[in-house]
Amino acid sequence: MNISSKTSKDNAMPSKVDNPFDLVCPAGSLPALKTAIDNGADCVYLGFRDATNARNFAGLNFDDAAIESGVQYAHSRNRKVFVAINTYPTVANSEAWRLAIDKASHLGVDAVILADPGLMQYAAIKHPNLRLHLSVQGSATNYESINFYHQHFGISRVVLPRVLSLEQVRQLANKTPVQIEVFGFGSLCVMVEGRCSLSSYVTGEAPNTNGVCSPPKAVRWEETPLGRESRLNGILIDRYAKNESAGYPTLCKGRFDVGIEKSYYAIEEPTSLNTIALLPELMQIGVSAIKIEGRQRSPSYVAQVTKVWREAIDNCRRHPGDFSPKASWMSDLDKVAEGQQHTLGAYHRPWK
């Protein structure tokens, strides 16, 4: 079957002048969804309880009854629900991904977030009125690739990977009609999303197809005379001293001996992205949405982060010329940040 084109007038993008500035918040459960909505989220994103989404943790995500209730709760308050079907189908069970798209459409969600071009083609043909977003897992880092997805599949929004500088985002936004969504707060990924196979060398399961970097079945904690140890499929990832905060074990954020006397974070430190200080610039260059990472986090995390970002966005809209992050906002966010610290990540590259 030839790739279809969805460039009709019915699928035309809204003018950038009329761009929204949505606050898109995580919902790993129905309580988290309601908490996000109640604290000011414009949109929430969630996943089904299977490997079709990139946060396939035990105890998280939505069954049919929960998502139906969540969509009703959001729509009754004029908010939107996006479903992440953002992993890549496996040869053995590709039908599960197509059925997930059918289910999302049937439930009346506002958009599906996809990474795989085959699924985009399926959605464009089978559900032509379903709004499609290009997932960060699609790894689109240039306007040519984004415009390709828009031309052939009708993608209306793209979630950019967390590897672009602010200037690169600006240049990209000027050359595509597709709405731009960027990560504003939450865990960082050292890899280009959608292309990471690091954990598969330890667990045998890549996050791109199994929906989680560190499958719970492979995670073990052990109290030892040297401290609390976290292991992934038997491999020591980190060791924590008494009263030291312990993070969930992922290979890229472990501490390792690399030929020096003291072990350290050889690949990436546990720190959270926080771009509140960049809000005026993000609005000015035409970004359409700020995404908060953390579907695996608790409803209390969702409440705290959503509340701060809602206040900050509203404040920036009222006073874009003299906007400055409040100390209380930064303090509240650092309390729920990885390692209790934050960074601007790749957005801030002073040498560029």
For 223-265, what is each residue's pLDDT tens digit?
Answer: 999 899 999 999 899 998 888 877 778 888 888 887 766 777 7
- The residue extents of the domains of the chain are 9-188+271-347, 203-265
pTM as predicted:
0.86
Q: How many C-beta atoms surround the C-beta of residue 176 within 10 A?
A: 22
CA angle 234, 236, 239 (to 5 degrees): 140
Task: Render pLDDT for 68-88 as a digit per residue (tens, 0 to 9).
Answer: 999 999 999 999 999 999 999
Higher pLDDT, 228 or 214: 228
Confidence label for 204 from pLDDT (cuts 50, 70 and 90):
confident
Other beta carbons less than 10 A from residue 221's beta carbon? 11
Torsion of CA 7, 9, 11, 16, to 10 degrees: 100
d(CA 180, CA 192) in angstroms, rounded, equals 17
Find the angle CA(191)-CA(193)-CA(196) to the nearest 5 degrees: 60
Instruction: Domain 9-188+271-347: give its CATH superfamily.
Output: Copper homeostasis (CutC) domain (3.20.20.380)
Distance, in Å, from the CA atom of 241 to the CA atom of 291, rounded to the nearest integer, reads 33
Token pair 């030929």 is found at 259
H helices of the chain, in order, are 30-38, 64-75, 95-106, 117-126, 143-153, 166-173, 200-203, 207-210, 279-284, 299-318, 327-335
Residue 228: strand, helix, or coil: strand
Output the six-digit token pair for 346: 């790749």
Distance (Å, rounded) from C-alpha 26 to C-alpha 281?
23
For the four alpha carbons of 142, 143, 146 and 147, in that order, the dihedral sign comes to negative
Listed in sequence order, the DSSP H helices in 232-350 are 279-284, 299-318, 327-335
With a CB cutoff of 8 Å and minimum separation 6, the contacts of 200 are: 206, 207
pLDDT band with cut points at 50, 70 and 90 for residue 1: very low
pLDDT at 277: 94
Tell me the per-residue pLDDT of 143-179, one tens digit each, with 9 for 90 and over: 999 999 999 999 999 999 988 899 999 999 999 999 9
Between the CA of residue 299 and those of 32, 70, 98, 169, 332, what are the distances in Å? 4, 14, 30, 31, 15
Which residues lie closer than 8 Å to 70 by C-beta, 6 or more apart? 27, 30, 33, 34, 44, 46, 62, 81
| Structure confidence by residue, pLDDT tens digits, 324-342 | 999 999 999 989 887 677 7
Q: Which pLDDT value is given to residue 12?
A: 42
Nearest CA-CA partner of 64 in 112, 110, 127, 108: 108
Neighbours of 130 (CB within 10 A): 19
DSSP string, 61-80: SB-HHHHHHHHHHHHTTT-E
**Dihedral (CA of 123, 134, 173, 78) sign:** positive
